[in-house]
Each structure stands twice: as C-alpha cells, then as structure tokens.
Amino acid sequence: MLVTGGAGFIGANFVIHTVERHPETEVIVLDALTYAGNRRNLDAVAGQVTFIQGDICDSEIVDRCVRDCDTVVHFAAESHVDNSLHDPSPFIRSNIIGTFTILEAVRRYERRLHHISTDEVFGDLPLDSADQFTEETPYDPSSPYSASKASSDMLVRAWVRSYGVLATLSNCANNYGPYQHVEKFIPRQVTNVLTGARPKLYGAGVNVREWTHVDDHNEAVHRILADGRIGQTYLVGSGDERSNKEIVELILELMGCPVDGYDRVDDRPGHDLRYSNDSTKLRTELGWRPRYGDFRAGLAATIEWYRDNEWWWKPRKSETEAKYQVLGR
C-alpha cells in the first residue's frame, strides 16, 4: 500500500493504525516533508514501513511508487485554509497537479485508489439549522483550499468515468487527535495555553464544526478500502457539532484556566459558517461507527498528548505564530 502524505497528521495516524491492525500490509510512504510533514510522526513504526521523500507532482517518483504497490491511499495535500488565503499557489500545485499525477500513474498501472477529501468542497450550511451535507450535495467551495480539493475530487470522478480508474472518495469533516500541526484550531489553542499565551478565537466564535477523531476517520478509510463500491463517495462524520467558542471554553476548562481567558481576533475572510456530514451511507453500507463517542474525553486525551509531547510541537510553535502575526490573527 502506498500512502501519500503519510508524514502528516491524518496520514501518519493512518500508517500507525495500518501497521498495528493490518500487519500483513506492506506500507510505502511518499511524502515531500513540507512544513506540515514530520518524519518523526512515524517513529512508532520505524523499520516497519518504507519512507520515500518525494513530491506527488514528480511523475517519475510517483510512477515508481505506484508501480510497486497494489493500492494507493492519497492524503498528501496542502491542508490549511488560512495559508490558502495568504498564498493559494502551493494548493493549486499539490492538490490539483499532485492528484492529477497520482491519477495518471494509477491509470497506467491499473491500481486501486482511495482519495481523501473534505466536506469543505460543499461550502457551508446555515447556523442553527438541521441541514446536513450528503453525497449528493452540489459542490460550492469557498476558499482556495476547498476549491483545490473540489478540483481534485472532480478529477478523480472523471478518471473513474472516462478511464475506468478503480477509485473511491471520502469527504470528512474536522479531525482532531495526536500529531496535528499547531497551526490548526485545537492544537493552536492548547499550545497557546501551554506556552502562557491566550487562545485566539476568530470573530464571535459562532462558527460550527463537526469534530471526528482521527482514528475514527482512518477506520472509515479502511472500511471503504475493504468494501467500498468503486466510483462512490462516502461522507465521514461523528455527528458531534460544536461552536468554536464552546471548544475554546472546553479547552480552557480542561486545562484548569478561567473559561473567559481567550482573545477575539479578526475573522477569517469568507469564513464557512457550519459543517455537518450525513454519514448514513457509510454507516449502513459499511457498518462504520465512531468509537470516540465522547468528545470531551477525546479532547482531554488530545490535550494530554500535547502536554506530554512538547518536543514534537515546540520547534514549530514560534514560526506558526509568526505566520499568524502577518495575517493579523
């Protein structure tokens, strides 16, 4: 199995999960080690996977890797909305050209592909409504990041239909868990508290996200690889929706701080209001259920992970906050 982006947050957790629960699978990781990738995310499986540092836009490397595997699980992407608003170009390159390069190799060698995507391709939902995204919701991306992911999904669908590529797709909402980069919402606030800084809430903090533990997302990917129907899209989501304000207050409470100890900063331009996935298809067709039903407990464990692994996040904290200072957030 070739795992692109296997040194990033979700990809590394996927590789660890795969080595632990599917030891018969031989894993090759292809990752460019951008600012978001970290070889040490794979320390737990050192010696058990093959690591290749390379760019998914490099057709020679991709060709060699795809030729040597049966299945490709494609996580590699530029993944942070704020970065895409500041400079969209790496998003166009890695997310669109990179996915095109993977698709051409998969087509050439007739390999099975699973493409990892996001619910952000659907745009957003009204606040305080019961609406949900489904597999049939029309695409309506808001940010350069989500537009580039929507483009990559469209390429995968076209390659399935026109060339018979054996691909499935999944679109998950926000993930949390260990090894998530400190630029993202939950790790940023937790490491702010750990470094004596105040959490930063965009705007009024009313925006709502659906939070899924990274291991639940990865279990869904394994179910789709095992029994998913070719050409199909599966939405992944825990059903646990929370406003950003609620999350910041919960982090502060769990870390023993006053719950109003945060700053309000400028809002993100084009900020999506609410995400919520209807994952009925994944649940009924493939029997998936989230194991991390208790968000509070999952968040507490994630906070503990960041407390115990300062060596992992500390070297990236100041450069990340310097980027936010440029953005005024």
Q: Which residues bind ligand TDX (CB under 6 A)?
A: 79-81, 118, 120, 174, 184-185, 188, 200-202, 207, 209, 244, 268
Q: Catalytic: which of 78, 104, 120, 272?
A: 120
- β-sheet bridge partners, residue 264: 201
Task: Report d(CA 120, CA 150) in Å as an integer.
Answer: 8
Minimum distance of ligand TDX from residue 200's CB (angstroms)? 4
- Give the one entry of ligand NAD, ligand TDX, none that residue 116 binds, where binding means its C-beta sits below a cut-off of 5 to 8 angstroms depending on kind: ligand NAD
Minimum distance of ligand TDX from residue 88's CB (angstroms)? 14
Minimum distance of ligand TDX from residue 189's CB (angstroms)? 7
- Give the one entry of ligand NAD, ligand TDX, none that residue 75 binds, where binding means its C-beta sits below a cut-off of 5 to 8 angstroms depending on kind: ligand NAD
Q: Catalytic: which of 31, 55, 78, 145?
A: 145
Nearest C-alpha neighbor of 101 from the set 58, 161, 68, 51: 58
Residue 236's H or E segment, with its range, is: strand 233-236
Minimum distance of ligand NAD from residue 200's CB (angstroms)? 18
- Give the one entry of ligand TDX, ligand NAD, none that residue 9 binds, where binding means its C-beta sits below a cut-off of 5 to 8 angstroms depending on kind: ligand NAD
Mark whether 210 is an active-site residue: no
Residue number of the CB atom closest to ligand TDX: 118
Mark whether 139 is an active-site residue: no
- Give the one entry of ligand NAD, ligand TDX, none that residue 37 binds, where binding means its C-beta sits below a cut-off of 5 to 8 angstroms depending on kind: ligand NAD
CB atoms within 10 A of CB 296: 11
Minimum distance of ligand TDX from residue 66's CB (angstroms)? 24
| Alpha helices (H) in 55-143, listed in sequence order | 59-67, 81-86, 89-91, 98-109
Task: Report d(CA 31, CA 269) in Å as an integer.
Answer: 30
Q: Catalytic: which of 31, 78, 104, 119?
A: 119
Minimum distance of ligand NAD from residue 153's CB (angstroms)? 10
Name the DSSP class of 125.
Answer: B
Whether residue 117 contacts residue 169, with contact meaning beta carbons closer than 8 Å, is answered with yes
Mark whether 119 is an active-site residue: yes
- Give the one entry of ligand NAD, ligand TDX, none that residue 10 binds, where binding means its C-beta sits below a cut-off of 5 to 8 angstroms depending on kind: ligand NAD
Task: Report d(CA 77, CA 80) in Å as an integer.
Answer: 9
User: Which residue's CB is nearer to ligand NAD, number 8 or number 123?
Assistant: 8
User: Which residue's CB is nearer to ligand TDX, number 163 or number 202?
Assistant: 202
- Give the one entry of ligand TDX, ligand NAD, none that residue 31 binds, where binding means its C-beta sits below a cut-off of 5 to 8 angstroms depending on kind: ligand NAD
Task: Report d(CA 19, CA 15) in Å as an integer.
Answer: 6
Whether residue 290 contacts residue 238, with contact meaning beta carbons closer than 8 Å, is answered with yes
User: Which residue's CB is nearer to ligand TDX, number 107 or number 171?
Assistant: 171
Query: Under the rule (CB under 6 A), what is the footprint of ligand NAD?
Result: 5, 7-11, 31-34, 36-37, 55-57, 75-79, 94, 98, 116, 118, 149, 172, 174-175, 181
Catalytic residues: 119-120, 145
